[in-house]
A and B are shown apart, each in its own frame.
Chain A
Amino acid sequence: MSKAVVSTRIRLARNLKEYPFPIRLSADKAREIVDKVGEALKDSPLKFHRIDMDSIPDTIRVAMIERHLVSPDFISEKDGRAVYLSDDNTVSIMVNEEDHIRLQVMMDGFELDKAYALAEEVDNILSKKLNYAFHDRLGYLTQCPTNLGTGMRASVMLHLPALEMSGTVNRIGANLSKLGLTMRGLYGESTKPAGAFFQLSNQVTLGISEKAAIENLKNIANQLITQEMRVRDNLLKNIEAQDKIHRALGILKTAKLMDHSEAMKLLSLVRLGVCEKMLETLSADSIDKLIVEIQPASIMTRYGEDMSPRDRDIKRAQILTERFN
């Protein structure tokens, strides 16, 4: 069941009282905040590494997005922005993205409670040294009013190939906003869904506690998974669907050129086949890791920054044939 949930993410938005929000912040003041956050993190039992956005090449910045360590918005500006990463990359703290602090915890599988507990722990450590902007009535103050209150965005990455194939996903999406939830593509706002991976997250942050928002998200995620499984049962009896899944593995094993979107589509199908015990090949966990590995910038950071798209397609096909054979 949890195989339909690829990963879990908790994000907390926090700002410092004595500084204007990032939209009105000078680069000097921004750097001051980066230092203060680093200072506060020294009290944490976790070890953090600081990475200044202006000190690393473009490909690494993009590769960090592909690993969900930072957001696309974060790398659009380099000056005065830095990220603190914990040793195992579970916790990432973006400084001066849309808010002064975006604390993120990411875990594999369906682990909302565990991820929130860790986020809260780090948040408590930070709040001992940092003076958070907090309003008695509006809660944690954020640059965009959509995050007021708890400042918490909890999300689960779902793999819903059957609901996507049957076209049910869009209908469900329309109803989610009524429940205070939203569903997006793989890399958050304004991204197209790739390979039937969807991010389900809470939309409302004011007037609902962290615990209640998480429970709500859990319930809806479970309902979506139940529906997905029901549709899968029917779908997989269908010889056309079976054929598609087996062909997907065949192509991954033998292709010489593989662009990114085709790879995502095929990996999504093979992941479905593996979860439903139709295929005997890599595990779902290994496929999830492979999905990150074959992203464009991740290939470039590993195999050379001057690769053309065609070079990457060749490399990608190579990686995939090696793994699946």
Chain B
Amino acid sequence: MLCQHCKKNEATTVVKTMINGEYAEYRLCHECAHELGYDSMFPDFSADFGGLLSSFFSNALPAISGAAHCNTCGSTLNDIKRTGKVGCADCYDTFFSELMPTIRNIHGNTEHKGKRPNAIEYTVNEDKKDQTESAEDKIAALRAELKKAIEDENFERAAQLRDEIKELEG
């Protein structure tokens, strides 16, 4: 869709605002949004999350991703990229390795700290904890191997490794 202000560039920003007491929605291109003072005051990730995702995915491996779409809600990786929104809870597992670099970039971290819902708190037992720790070592080793496979342009092996990692992470 074209920018509603200059009618030239592709609109990238949706402005939801109130004008004289009425709710209004505008689609603007980056320049017009800036000019009209509608960009968020300071650069932050959420405003341009879609763009951020796209820039990361363009560096990702071509077409070796295991799943084309999420079995639960039908979202494709492209849908998520385009909207900056994830379709359902299961998408996070389905596209785990694809989403991970972006998540790390947004938060600088990928391990939740803090509150857990009551129901889950009681199901964690020590055995399971040990298992996940050793699984994480294994994932780290596989990641290193994956990195090397990509550098060597051995995409077949990379795809294999990627699936293995995904399985462990799931």
Contacts and interface: CB of A to CB of B under 8 A. Distances in A.
Interface of A: 15, 17, 19-21, 23-24, 58-59, 61-62, 65-66, 72-73, 75-76, 98, 120, 123-124, 127-128, 131-146, 148-150, 152, 170, 173-174, 176-177, 180, 182-185, 187, 189-193, 203-212, 260, 295-297, 299-300, 309, 312
B127 to A, nearest CB: 14
Contact of A296 (B18, B107, B113): B18
7 contacts: A20-B88, A127-B118, A138-B110, A145-B86, A184-B42, A203-B44, A299-B21
B107 A24 contact: no
B51 interface: no
A295 B19 CA distance: 11
A72 B88 contact: no
Given A173-B41, A183-B41, A190-B15, A207 B108 contact: yes
A149 B112 contact: yes
Contacts of B49: 144-146
Interface of B: 13, 15-18, 20-23, 25, 37-47, 49, 72-75, 83-89, 92-93, 99, 102-103, 106-120, 124, 132
Given A15-B89, A150-B115, A182 B23 contact: no
B111 A146 contact: no
A73 B103 CA distance: 23
Contacts of B109: 204, 206-208
Contacts of A309: 20-21
10 nearest CB pairs, A to B: A207-B109, A296-B21, A139-B112, A209-B114, A133-B89, A206-B107, A20-B88, A173-B42, A20-B73, A297-B21
Contact of A75 (B23, B39, B92, B111): B23
A152 B83 CA distance: 22
A260 B15 CA distance: 19
Given A20-B72, A138-B103, A149-B107, A208 B88 contact: no
Contact of A134 (B18, B93, B113, B117): B117
Contacts of B44: 177, 182, 203
Contacts of A177: 42-44
A75 B109 CA distance: 33
A62 B22 contact: yes
Contacts of B46: 144, 146, 189, 203
A72 B42 CA distance: 19
A172 to B, nearest CB: 9
Contacts of A212: 113-114
Contacts of A209: 113-115
Nearest to A126: B117
Contacts of B20: 260, 296, 309, 312
Given A139-B112, A141-B89, 17 more contacts: A20-B88, A23-B85, A72-B23, A124-B118, A132-B117, A138-B92, A138-B110, A146-B46, A173-B41, A180-B108, A190-B15, A190-B16, A190-B39, A192-B37, A203-B44, A206-B106, A210-B114
B86 A21 contact: yes
A71 to B, nearest CB: 9
Given A204-B109, A207-B107, A300-B21, A149 B114 contact: yes
